[in-house]
Amino acid sequence: MIDSSAAGSFKSAIQPNDRVMVSLDSDHSAEHVFRELQRYAPLVSKGCYLVVEDTNINGHPVYSSFGPGPKEALEKFKLTVAPSGFLRRVR
């Protein structure tokens, strides 16, 4: 579950000239990571990064029994060109 009050707190703490990056490293299920991407990606400053941790699980190349994880969540965004999980905001 994503705590919506936390996202609101983060958003309200950002000042107009702040440069913001986000690192996602909690529940690694694909569905949860996808929801985190939807919630936190808009907070990332243009030219900064959103880092999705542990994209190596579910057989990429480790822990193949995990099931769909962070890497599969990124595929929903058509971002598989960033297999390391470093996503740079460009617009």
32-62: pLDDT as tens digits:
999 999 999 999 999 999 988 888 889 988 8
Per the domain annotation, does 41 fall within a domain? yes
The Cα–Cα gap between 30 and 25 comes to: 12
**Mean pLDDT over residues 1-27, rounded?**
91
Q: How many domains does the chain have?
A: 1
pLDDT band at 80 (very low <50, low <70, confident <90, very high): very low
Per the domain annotation, does 81 fall within a domain? yes
Per the domain annotation, does 11 fall within a domain? no
CA nearest neighbour of 56 among 74, 36, 31: 74
The pLDDT of residue 73: 85
Block residue for tokens 């936390």:
6
Structural domain containing residue 59: 20-88
Per the domain annotation, does 10 fall within a domain? no
Q: pTM of the prediction?
A: 0.77
The Cα–Cα gap between 90 and 81 comes to: 15
